[in-house]
């Protein structure tokens, strides 16, 4: 599936790459503290936005359930957590 553009601009995949970059910078231990704190705040915002996007996508997912009469019926995907 190609990356779908989101309301805030960019794609989910672009945000994931940005989050990975922020995490790598923080884990490197080479950045000054103020830079790490800014990256941490930015990563938190990205993560919150991405979690919201995933929740919205999950609501759109359905599964087909076989019925006793041989037909199939669409049902919302149940949360497994």
For the chain, 81 residues long, give each residue's pLDDT as a single digit of tens: 445 554 456 899 999 999 999 999 999 989 999 999 999 999 999 999 999 999 988 888 888 788 888 888 888 777 655
Position 1 scores a pLDDT of 43
Structure tokens at 21: 């970059």
- E-strand spans in 20-78? 62-66, 72-76
User: Hey, where are the domains in the chain?
Assistant: 12-76
Position 61 scores a pLDDT of 83
pTM of the model: 0.67
Structure tokens at 11: 């794609």
């Amino acid at each position: 599936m190609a990356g779908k553009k989101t309301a805030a601009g960019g794609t989910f995949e672009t945000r994931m790459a940005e989050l990975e970059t922020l995490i790598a910078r923080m884990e490197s231990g080479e950045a000054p503290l103020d830079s790490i704190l800014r990256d941490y705040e930015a990563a938190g915002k990205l993560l919150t936005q991405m979690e919201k996007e995933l929740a919205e996508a999950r609501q759109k997912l359905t599964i087909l359930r076989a019925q006793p009469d041989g037909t199939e019926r669409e049902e919302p995907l149940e949360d497994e957590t």
